Chains A and B, each alone.
Chain A
Amino acid sequence: MSTAPRPLLALRGITKTFPGGVVANEEIDLDLFAGEVHAILGENGAGKSTLMKTLYGFHRPDAGSIELDGKPVEIHSPEQGKRLGVGMVFQSFMLIPALSVVENVALAVPDSRILLNKGRLAARIKEVAARYGFSVDPSALIWQLSPGDQQKVEIVKTLLADARLLIFDEPTSVLAPHEVDGLYQVFDRLKADGLGVVFITHKMREVLSCADRITVLTRGRITGTMLRAEATERNLVQMIFGRDNAPPTEGEPIAAATLPAEATAGVGLPPFVELRDVVAADDRGGNGLKHVSLAITPGEILGIAGVSGSGQKELGDVLMGLRRPRAGTVLVDGVDATRWSTRQFLKAGVASVPEDPVAASVVAGMSVLQNLALGDHNVAHRPGWLGIDWHAVQHALDWLTAKFHLRLPRMDVPVQTLSGGNVQRMVFARELSRRPRLLLAYYPSRGIDVHGVAAVHEVLRACRAEGAAVLFVSEDLEELVELSDRLAVMYHGEIVATMAAAHADLSHVGLLMTGGAAPLVLSPSKETNDVLPAMTGPAELRVPA
């Protein structure tokens, strides 16, 4: 008997190659002890998700072994993984929106096969929730819950299924900043209960704030494992990128050096697009936008801060003609565009990179080249209805690959073989090739690595430098403040405050986002001071009703 504590989970020599020769994991050795948070850090496509899916039984490894409690196991299916005590909290949740919390949990709990004792299960959910400090209403329907609450349901679900080790795949990507701290507290509680936590992320800051041990994965291989105490931002970056090609440190991309930090070009110009008192429906028939007034001037980046679902989507839809306002006016270049079709908005120069480019902007089954021709009514279309000028598309593609360092294996590969990050880059490139006058950039740095984020920021700044208006929606407040000229805060379909980004106070914005700040009383309190004098451009400060 060895005296060293036995790991809860031990992976030895895990190798996984996908058809086509992509080595996703190579010779991975990993230990997870009970009562620790083990973070797996790596860029997009480094193989983090593949490794965890192997552990959960989605894939079978080509070689290597898995030991649980020192006993070798083979995990053939997620059901078996679940039986062995492996719980997975997915990046995109595996919940059924139309069912209630109890019903969703019942699907995962082993002892509720035939008869569903909802009352007992609800009591157990409440009990677990209480222990972890959640407030989960077992009878609430999933679609009514915020992403943060849905994540809590996922956690409760795995705990009630007797999971002993929990895998969190990019859990913070759906959370508002203040919810992330709540998640860390859950981690602490799980540790105290003797469970093992695997935390997959690409955000260094998060790893440093909650992990006990950190493993860095680069191109399918482990480049190092260290204790939290040994880790610094600097040595992690070196592990991820290697000593020689560390990314440009934040705040000094090339474009920023040549541009004034706060573009003043837009000031004094008439707005490119203006919303006046716009009311628009959300997908459930309620009001997604309530009397929103907003103007974006050429050459400015307008940042939108807000918890996901505060009306950002509806705002973008209105600006693209995908959603007709119920009331109010939309002006483009001073012309009434309230009843314009999407085609008219596109023609006027609106381009968009949506929240989920894979789902909303590309056609699976079509090649990269075919996808690049999408939505381009000028370059690629030959006169008449016959044919598409594929050479023009190819030309655009060559230009874009060079400019955005897209690593595409071949032009004729189906778009679904690209990673999510590459699809996003492709969509970015496609939209920019149209030389937009207004770019709607929705969560452009979500789920992409440090290199990618720097590139995205550079692109947005370059857009601004060329005189485009940019609507920049993000969940990362620091990023918003760093990049935006002005910041608008949305809460429940309203714009509750607009301010110059340079003067924004993060904690106050955070409060505004969650409806926590007192309605803006026009008195010279400290908080409102941060907001009021900072307004530039067509001012729209709304006092919530």
Chain B
Amino acid sequence: MIIATPAASPLLDRVLDHAIMRMLVSLLIAGTLFAAILLLLGTNPLDAYAAIFRGSLGDSYGWSEILVKVVPFILCAIAAALPAQLGMINVGAEGQLQIGALTATMAALAFSGLAAPVLLPIVIVAGFLGGALWGGVAGALRSGPGLNEAISTLLLNYVALRIVDSFTHGLLKDPASFNWPFSPPFVDAARLPTFGDSRAHAGLLLALAAIGIVWLLLNRTRWGYEMRVVGGNPEAARRSGLRVGRYLLIGMLLGGGFAGLAGMIEVSAVNGRLQPGIGVGFGYVGFLASWLAGSRPFAIIPMATLLAIIAVGGEVLQISAKIPSSSVNVLMALILFAVLATRTLRLSGRLHRA
């Protein structure tokens, strides 16, 4: 006769019960795998990691770059997290950012005669609306004909890039650009102020305010409650008379709007004009940050910061370790896989079902 032993979970499992510890474990796994890849490339991983952290956290320039990068990461993470509350997958922050940058540029150039206190809000709203429009296209396709938004947002990313290209090569091309594809520069009144001499800018405040607003919306308003109902159980939402399609559209409009705001910030605060390649890749990093944060607004801030550190460090990596800066994208992808894999990881016992 065998007495079944009580299912005492070993120490490691109890450690995994904490969300933060689980996160650290997955970062460790991703870091180890990336180290293996670096070894295969003939690079000493310890040197590479040292380069990443020295380049990002080692001096004040690195710090200010992190503050510049974290802004679009946070806003693009919101663009994924808000629709996620409704059970939708928005992979389109990339394109929504582009359209937001385009509409913000149009507004900045059209109203360039106005004073900053009037002009900046107009540019901000224009950027938000541009992103909202692009997100709204996918939202309308979902709530109407039922087209899967994960696919439509992804495809619309490419369309958005081409639209921006056509403007920078055409209507919006700076006559003084010697045929380079970019818009005329923004007037100073259309540019977000920076902090002192650094490149860090007021967009950071917008991003943090956006986090607060989204948290309030989701947790303190009836709309947020109803959004979470739609995301949690669409059938129950329908049965309680909620217009599910309308909420899906609103979710994509708002999410796209925040990505559009990121685009506005990139042209207004960082570049000062519209040109191809602005903000490319930020949408996907934001998506990753949202996943890492479990779509929780306040968890987005640390996750976006972590990814900003890696992204800034990656730029240094190219110089010091002589591997392409884009190789940190591999690290980011590994982090995503590790996080997904450890969400249900258990080291003892076999099946845990209710």
Give the nearest-CB partner of A53 in chain B. Answer: B353
- Complex: how many Å from CA A59 to CA B352? 7
Contacting B at CB under 8 A, from A249-277, are none
B75-83, B143-151, B219-227, B299-307: which lies at the interface? B219-227
Give the nearest-CB partner of A50 in chain B. Answer: B354
Does B18 have its Cβ within 8 Å of any Cβ on chain A? no
- Which of B1, B7, B225, B235 makes the CB contact (< 8 A) with A373? B225
Contacting A at CB under 8 A, from B203-223, are 220-223
A77 x B6 contact (CB < 8 A): no
Contacting B at CB under 8 A, from A356-398, are 359-366, 370, 373-375, 377, 381-382, 385-388
- Which of B4, B220, B233, B241 makes the CB contact (< 8 A) with A61? B4
Does A228 have its Cβ within 8 Å of any Cβ on chain B? no
- Which of B1, B4, B235, B239 makes the CB contact (< 8 A) with A60? B4
- Complex: how many Å from CA A396 to CA B335? 46
Does A57 have its Cβ within 8 Å of any Cβ on chain B? yes
Known: A12-B1, A72-B1. 5 other contacts (CB 8 A): A62-B7, A72-B2, A343-B241, A385-B221, A388-B222
A14 to chain B, nearest CB (A): 9
Instruction: Mark each residue of chain A from 55 to 75: 1 if its CB lies under 8 Å from any CB of chain B, else 0.
Output: 001111111110100001110
Q: A65-B3, A65-B4, A346-B241 are in contact. Are A359 and B235 (CB under 8 A)?
A: yes
B239 x A375 contact (CB < 8 A): yes
- Complex: how many Å from CA A456 to CA B212? 45
Instruction: Mark each residue of chain B from 1 to 40: 1 if its CB lies under 8 Å from any CB of chain A, else 0.
Output: 1111011000000000000000000000000000000000
Does B330 have its Cβ within 8 Å of any Cβ on chain A? no
- Complex: how many Å from CA A59 to CA B351? 7
Q: Which 8 A-B pairs have the closest CB atoms?
A: A375-B240, A363-B232, A343-B241, A342-B241, A363-B233, A346-B241, A72-B2, A360-B235
A360 x B232 contact (CB < 8 A): no
A51 to chain B, nearest CB (A): 14
B7 x A363 contact (CB < 8 A): no
23 A/B residue pairs, CB under 8 Å, sorted by A: A58-B351, A61-B4, A62-B4, A62-B7, A63-B3, A64-B4, A72-B1, A74-B2, A77-B350, A320-B239, A342-B238, A346-B241, A354-B239, A359-B233, A362-B236, A366-B228, A366-B229, A373-B225, A382-B222, A385-B223, A386-B222, A387-B222, A388-B225
B236 x A374 contact (CB < 8 A): yes
B4 x A63 contact (CB < 8 A): yes
Q: A60-B7, A375-B239, A385-B222 are in contact. Are A362 and B1 (CB under 8 A)?
A: no
- Complex: how many Å from CA A12 to CA B3? 10
B232 x A366 contact (CB < 8 A): yes
A468 to chain B, nearest CB (A): 18
- Complex: how many Å from CA A320 to CA B239? 8
Find chain A residues with CB under 8 A from B235 CB: 359-360
- Which of A67, A74, A362 makes the CB contact (< 8 A) with B4? A74
Give the nearest-CB partner of A54 in chain B. Answer: B4
Give the nearest-CB partner of A344 in chain B. Answer: B241
Does A474 have its Cβ within 8 Å of any Cβ on chain B? no
Does A146 have its Cβ within 8 Å of any Cβ on chain B? no
A384 to chain B, nearest CB (A): 9
Does B349 have its Cβ within 8 Å of any Cβ on chain A? yes
Measured CB to CB, the residues of B under 8 A from A are 1-4, 6-7, 220-223, 225, 228-229, 232-233, 235-236, 238-241, 243, 349-351, 353
Does A76 have its Cβ within 8 Å of any Cβ on chain B? yes
- Complex: how many Å from CA A59 to CA B220? 39
A530 to chain B, nearest CB (A): 37
Give the nearest-CB partner of B3 in chain A. Answer: A65
B4 x A363 contact (CB < 8 A): no
A539 to chain B, nearest CB (A): 31
Find chain B residues with CB under 8 A from A322 CB: 238-239
- Complex: how many Å from CA A68 to CA B146? 52
- Complex: how many Å from CA A364 to CA B237? 12
Find chain A residues with CB under 8 A from B3 CB: 63-65
Does A218 have its Cβ within 8 Å of any Cβ on chain B? no
Q: A364-B232, A364-B233 are in contact. Are A370 and B225 (CB under 8 A)?
A: yes
Give the nearest-CB partner of B232 in chain A. Answer: A363
Give the nearest-CB partner of B221 in chain A. Answer: A386
Find chain A residues with CB under 8 A from B225 CB: 370, 373, 388
Q: How many residues of A contact B (CB 8 A)?
A: 46
- Which of A62, A343, A388 makes the CB contact (< 8 A) with B6? A62
- Complex: how many Å from CA A39 to CA B41? 66
Find chain B residues with CB under 8 A from A57 CB: 351
B212 to chain A, nearest CB (A): 15
- Complex: how many Å from CA A517 to CA B3? 58
- Complex: how many Å from CA A377 to CA B222? 11
- Complex: how many Å from CA A343 to CA B220? 23
A360 x B229 contact (CB < 8 A): no
Give the nearest-CB partner of A388 in chain B. Answer: B222
A374 x B229 contact (CB < 8 A): yes
- Complex: how many Å from CA A58 to CA B352? 7
Does A352 have its Cβ within 8 Å of any Cβ on chain B? yes
Find chain B residues with CB under 8 A from A352 CB: 239
Give the nearest-CB partner of B241 in chain A. Answer: A343
B341 to chain A, nearest CB (A): 21
- Complex: how many Å from CA A76 to CA B233? 33
- Complex: how many Å from CA A377 to CA B237? 13
Give the nearest-CB partner of B352 in chain A. Answer: A59
B236 x A65 contact (CB < 8 A): no
Find chain B residues with CB under 8 A from A345 CB: 241
A368 to chain B, nearest CB (A): 14
A430 to chain B, nearest CB (A): 9
Q: A60-B4, A64-B4 are in contact. Are A362 and B239 (CB under 8 A)?
A: no
- Complex: how many Å from CA A78 to CA B233? 29
Does A341 have its Cβ within 8 Å of any Cβ on chain B? yes
- Complex: how many Å from CA A216 to CA B121? 72
Find chain A residues with CB under 8 A from B240 CB: 342, 346, 374-375
B1 x A67 contact (CB < 8 A): yes
A341 x B241 contact (CB < 8 A): yes
- Complex: how many Å from CA A352 to CA B235? 13
- Complex: how many Å from CA A76 to CA B349? 8
B350 x A76 contact (CB < 8 A): yes
Find chain A residues with CB under 8 A from B238 CB: 322, 342
A336 to chain B, nearest CB (A): 19
A78 to chain B, nearest CB (A): 8
A387 x B6 contact (CB < 8 A): no
Find chain A residues with CB under 8 A from B349 CB: 60
A378 to chain B, nearest CB (A): 11
